[in-house]
Amino acid sequence: MATGLSAIFMTNRAALLRFLRARGAGEDAEDLLQDMWMKLEAKDLGPVTDPLPYLYRMANNLMLDRYRSSSRRERREQDWAEGAGGVMADPSEDIGVDERMILNQRLNEARAVLRDLGPRVELVFRRFRIEGVGQRLIAEELGVSLTTVEKDLQKAYRAMLLLKQKIDTE
């Protein structure tokens, strides 16, 4: 690891460990930090513009992966317990016609929800969530304040998450 990342990692080891613990890693925090170190060693990353935020993001992503795999496992175990059968097919594969219709219907619902939020909110949400543009840049592009963009995003997120909850309980 020829970049300054290793130095930054060592300097901020304690802060990163504290973050992982706060993030819910518990006793595994040290191990996760070790994983991060291995990953940094294995990959020859080019120069990183903001090394410390980069390391934090990496730690955060580790925790998100952990959460996702544990909730997948729980779901599998639950399915098993409920006698869903022995074949654990990946639901994303092989989408049937019925399911495709449902998917299309959901897309239409989402479209309607976004449309009802008004054009600016929809635009802000798309720029942020789909195209991955930062809020500061979006505010500049639209000539509105950062606060406006933040509020628009919260509004859009709330509506989309409620839609998701509704879909999940259907």
Partner 1 sequence: MINEEALGWVIRTRDPEFQDWEAFTLWLEANPAHAPAYDALMAADSDLDNIVPEEPVIMPVAANDRGPRRPLRWIAGGAVAAALVGVISVGLLNRSNIYSVTTRPGETRTIALDDGTRVELNGGTTMRFDRKDARFAALDAGEAAFTVRHDAANPFRVTVGDAVFEDAGTVFNIVHTKDATHIGVSEGKVVYNPDAEAIALPAGRALSDDAQGLRLMDVAPGAVASWRQGRLVYANASIADISQDIGRSLGVTLTAAPGARAMRFTGTIRLDRDPARFFAQAAPLMGLTAVRQGDGWLLKEGPAKEGDGPQN
Binding mask 31-70 for partner 1 (x = CB under 8 A): -------------------x-xx--xx--x--xx--xx--
Q: Which is nearer to partner 1, 2 or 33 (CB)?
A: 33
CB contact at 8 A, 125 and 113: no
Q: Could you tell me the two tokens for 99?
A: 């399911």
Residue 93: exposure state from Cβ atoms within 10 A (0-12, 13-18, ≥19): exposed
Q: Does residue 129 touch partner 1 according to CB under 8 A?
A: yes
C-alpha 106/C-alpha 29 separation (Å) is 39
Quick one: 42 or 130, whose CB is closer to partner 1?
Answer: 130
Q: Exposure of 163 by Cβ count < 10 A (0-12 exposed, 13-18 middle, 19+ buried)? A: middle
Q: Tell me: does residue 95 bind partner 1 (CB under 8 A).
A: no
Q: Is 147 in the site for partner 1 (CB under 8 A)?
A: no
* Cα 84 to Cα 98: distance, rounded to the nearest angstrom: 20
Interaction site with partner 1 (CB under 8 A): 15, 18-19, 22-24, 50, 52-53, 56-57, 60, 63-64, 67-68, 71, 103, 106-107, 109-111, 114-115, 118-120, 122-123, 126-138, 140-143, 150, 153-154, 157-158, 160-165, 167
